[in-house]
């Protein structure tokens, strides 16, 4: 998606509706700084307020994501293009979140191992040895809880039995036996348990 184009379109529609950035922001319950970021192409409106924004600007979501008014005969094609583009952006966001899981997990494992090795092989008082082991364990557990949270929210799990893709709860993800990012969980659709792999998109690739 062309964020610069979308931003200019939002700006022009806002002005046509006779609103300042502050007035539009107030109607949406956000800061005028957020509106400024949209109009300069630095960010896109959050999906949760897109419908309200479109109503205020007298456009539809496809026109917003296209950055232009769409003629009736072009509507279906443009809608499909916008959906594909939005899907790619969501997949890329999920991919980046999963990379963050590794960026958080690997240093935590390294720190834990270093502390454990120090406690095992260095000459030190017993209380300090215990303290290092406890700190290492706490660091590891904290990183694990955060990493699972990232994995749970990024993308979907696909049931091997029925193919349903869904986002499980945090605790069902956390407590599930796993091999890498494949977890043994119960599908909310068919009710069967299986080894479910992590996928980035809601729909299967065509």
b/e code 185-203 from CB counts within 10 Å (16+ = b): bebeeeeeebebebbbeee
Sequence-ordered strand ranges (E) for the chain: 156-158, 165-166, 178-179, 182-186, 193-199
Residue 142 inside a domain? The answer is: yes
117 and 175 together in one domain: yes
61 and 111 together in one domain: no
43 and 113 together in one domain: no
Domain boundary among 20, 51, 70: 70
Domain boundary among 52, 70, 88: 70
Query: What CATH number has the domain bearing residue 47?
Result: 1.10.260.40
Nearest-Å Rg of the Cα atoms of the chain is 24
What is the number of domains present in the chain? 2
Instruction: Check if the beta carbon of residue 176 is closer than 8 Å to that of residue 193.
Output: no
Residue 124 inside a domain? The answer is: yes
What's the token pair of residue 125? 């008082």
Domain around 55: 3-70
Domain boundary among 30, 49, 70: 70
Residue 204 inside a domain? The answer is: no
Could you list the mean pLDDT of each consecutive 10-residue stretch along the chain, which spans 206 residues? 89 93 92 92 85 91 85 66 74 83 86 91 91 92 88 89 90 90 92 92 60
pLDDT of residue 72: 64
122 and 189 together in one domain: yes
**Block residue for tokens 């960010």:** 43
Interhelix angle for 50-57 vs 21-28, to 10°?
130
Backbone angles phi, psi at 196, to 5 degrees: -105, 125
170 and 116 together in one domain: yes
51 and 105 together in one domain: no
112 and 154 together in one domain: yes
List of long-range contacts for 44-51, beta carbons under 8 Å, 24+ apart: 44/1, 44/3, 44/6, 45/10
């Amino acid at each position: 998606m062309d964020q610069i184009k979308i931003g200019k379109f939002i700006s022009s529609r806002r002005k046509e509706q006779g609103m300042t950035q502050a007035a539009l922001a107030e109607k949406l319950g956000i800061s005028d700084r957020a509106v400024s970021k949209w109009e300069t192409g630095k960010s896109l409106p959050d999906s949760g307020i897109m419908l309200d924004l479109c109503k205020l600007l007298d456009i539809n979501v496809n026109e917003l994501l296209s950055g232009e008014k769409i003629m009736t005969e072009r509507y279906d094609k443009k809608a499909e293009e916008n959906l594909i583009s939005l899907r790619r952006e969501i997949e890329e966001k999920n991919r980046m979140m999963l990379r963050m899981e590794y960026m958080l997990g690997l240093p935590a494992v390294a720190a834990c191992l270093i502390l454990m090795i120090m406690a095992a092989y260095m000459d030190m008082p017993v209380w300090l040895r215990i303290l290092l082991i406890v700190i290492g364990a706490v660091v590891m557990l904290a990183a694990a809880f955060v990493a699972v949270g990232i994995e749970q929210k990024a993308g979907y799990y696909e049931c091997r039995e029925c193919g349903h893709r869904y986002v499980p709860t945090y605790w069902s993800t956390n407590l599930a036996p796993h091999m890498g990012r494949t977890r043994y969980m119960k599908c909310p659709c068919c009710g069967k348990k299986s080894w479910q792999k992590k996928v980035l998109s809601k729909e299967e690739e065509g």
